[in-house]
Amino acid sequence: MTLQTLIDELGLKCKCCWEKLGNEIEGGYAGDLLSDVMGNSKKGDIWVTRQVHLNIVAVASLKEHAGIVIVQGASPDKDTIEKAQKEGIPIMVSDLPEFELVGKIYHLMHHAQ
């Protein structure tokens, strides 16, 4: 499943790196403690988080995530978006709470398989 499919199905708003929306999602990870995400997420994951700090871009880049979805309608900082654009990490936002969004993504991924 691609990021574009996720955006279309779940009404996410893309904030940067529109050229990367063909990125394939291989798995997913949800977490707000960046130490935990660094330790346990995998390459190709779609990462769902409520954290908006600049460091999320570095973590996603390091772990080669497919993209980041920020939940609960939170706005990523301007610096975060600029860094994400530079690093080629697509950031999307959703108004849904983390629990609901993760449930929907999980369902979509398993349905797609």
Partner 1 sequence: MTRLYTCNLHVHTCLSPCGDLDMHPSAVVEEAVLQHLDIIAVCDHNTSGNVRYVQKAAEGSGLTVIPGMEVTTREEVHVIALFESVEQLESLQEIVYEHLSGLNDEKAFGMQVLVNEIGEVEGFNERLLIGATDISLETLVEKVHESGGLAVAAHIDRPSFSVLSQLGFVPGHVPFDALEISARLPFDQARSRFPELAGYTFITSSDAHFVHDIGKTCIRMNLEEPSFPEIRLAFEKKKGRYVLE
Number of residues that bind partner 1 (CB under 8 A): 13
DSSP states of 53-67: STHHHHHHHHTT-SE
Q: According to the binding rule CB under 8 A, does residue 29 interact with partner 1?
A: no
Q: Which amino acid is at 64?
A: E
Residue 113 to residues 5, 25, 37, Cα–Cα distance (Å): 14, 12, 25
Do residues 95 and 73 touch, judged by C-beta distance below 8 A?
yes
Site for partner 1 in 32-71 (CB under 8 A): 32-35, 37-38, 51, 53-55, 58-59
- To partner 1, the closest distance from the beta carbon of 52 in angstroms equals 8
**Window 79-98: residues binding partner 1 (CB under 8 A):** none
- List of residues contacting partner 1 (CB under 8 A): 32-35, 37-38, 51, 53-55, 58-59, 77
